[in-house]
Amino acid sequence: MERPAWAPPGIDITVPSVARIYDYYLGGSHNFEVDREAARRAMEFMPGLPKVMQSNRAFMRRAVRHAVAEGVTQFLDIGSGIPTFGNVHEIARAATPDARVVYVDHDPVAVEHSRAVLADDERTGVIAADLREPGSVLTAPETTELLDLDRPVALLLIAVLHFLEDQDEPHRAVAELRDALAPGSLLILTHASYEGIPLTEEQAGGTVGVYREIRNPLVMRSREEVTRFFDGFELVEPGVVNLARWRPEGPVELEDPYAFSGFAGVGRKA
């Protein structure tokens, strides 16, 4: 298998990565054949997966603009993936030129590519770290130099918590991050769920099986379970809702049914 010039040395290009699979769904070019093959297998069960990812990104853009409108200009994006058009710093800067963003991922390709893309941007930082270890994110030089944790920060956990099993203690990780943030900070998250998908749970379960096979278990949680991540935050209207229903900018009725898959929400720390 030929190694592309952009692939960092030491990357095993025979093992699929969720960040690169997501990049493929979004039409990106930083993925390998092994990622595309896993994505196509998942789409055999759930053909609308690219639409789900587009809806996920559209929510992220609306939520970032909401954060800026609320006066929040600092962003900590954990599980940020491979930078594609319309990333957090681009959306935030369009609304406020002084926005600062720290991107965090544990996928080496996502980290290296982010660093290459953002090398000349002094108001963004990129950290190689894991959501399961919030301390390593909070104490990283990029975080402490770029973000003032005594002022409100928007914490983005977009399509990442569903890759943490209960034994990984995802609620503890979110609570630890929440406790480090100033009052007025926002939690912006999306999460996969069987609720809202226009398929039976059995059909959608085929996609979950593909992720399990590539050693990235996809944990589907209920609306109630997703809402628990907002403990200690006041939910912003309309609360925890299907992706396309969070403050849509156009007529939702005309959307592809897959746009309603999974849950999204924004909470404010009191």
Task: Check residue 161 and give its pLDDT.
Answer: 98
> Distance between CA atoms of 74 and 87, rounded to whole angstroms?
14
What proportion of the chain, given as a percentage, has pLDDT over 70?
A: 97
- pLDDT tens digit sequence for 99-136: 999 999 998 888 988 998 898 999 999 999 999 999 99
Q: Copy the structure tokens of residue 45.
A: 């069960």
Cα angle, residue 109 at apex, residues 104 and 110 outer, rounded to 5°? 30
Least trusted range by pLDDT, from 151-160, 221-230, 252-261: 252-261
Domains and CATH numbers, the chain: 51-198+218-269 (3.40.50.150)
Asked whether the predicted pLDDT for residue 1 surpasses 70, the reply is no
Q: What is the pLDDT of residues 231-241, one digit of tens each?
A: 999 999 999 99
Predicted TM-score of the model (pTM): 0.94
- C-beta atoms surrounding 85 within 10 Å: 9
Q: At what angle do helices 88-95 and 49-69 cross, to 10 degrees?
A: 30
> Cβ-count burial of 168 within 10 angstroms (0-12 exposed, 13-18 middle, 19+ buried)?
middle
